[in-house]
Structure 1
């Protein structure tokens, strides 16, 4: 039986979380990106060492919104590989959510 097309898709839990983007200034690092990919990230979001995203404390500068309520990545389409591989409910997600007092998903 086909799914009812009137049902709305569930929003990503990430849009009401953001904990992984506010866990450690060392986490949003560059790893496998080539220069062409890195050039797509606006320079104001890149740290002085050019090794990862600029952070304000432990919070990635590209994260907008309030942790645990509503968040978004201002560079989502060009975010680093480490950000692309973090998945809702994985070990890194759980660790970050616990640090912010959010329930593990």
Structure 2
């Protein structure tokens, strides 16, 4: 894949956001250190402190409209599960299908 294709895929994330609204069980904490978890604002952490707080299936840190324009309110300190979901991977495809968006 050339550099331009990578840039285009990254841009797709900001016009999508489906992975951040796929499931309340998805944004779980896993391998984050205590120091990393402490950087996530408490308002965005669920009651069990096991993952991100969600409004329905939508992560509370997600801003914007799915499939239009989105961003993460805590992008620089987001959990590992959010960092590993990549444009076009299986998780991305599954989330995009849920919202009727074309798979990339």
1:54 maps to 53
> Aligned runs of 1:30-49 on 2, under 5 Å?
30-49=29-48
- C-alpha distance in structure 2 between counterparts of 1:35 and 1:48, whole Å: 17
- Residue 70 of structure 1: CA displacement? 0.1
What is the number of residues matched between the two proteins? 97
Distance 1:12 1:51 in 2: 29
CA distance in 2, matches of 1:19, 1:99: 8
Give, in whole Å, the separation in 2 of the partners of 1:53 and 1:75: 11
Question: What is the CA distance between 1:97 and its match in structure 2?
Answer: 0.1
Gaps of 5+ in 1: 1-8
Is residue 2:85 matched to residue 1:83?
no
Q: Hey, which bits of structure 1, 4+ residues long, moved more than 4 A?
A: none
C-alpha RMSD of matched pairs (Å): 0.9
Unmatched 5+ stretches in structure 2: 1-6
Per the alignment, residue 15 of structure 2 pairs with 16
- Partner of 2:4 in structure 1? none
- Greater fraction of residues in helix: 2
Query: Counterparts of 2:77 and 2:11 in 1: how far apart (Å)?
Result: 18
Q: TM-score, normalised by structure 2?
A: 0.91
Larger radius of gyration: 1
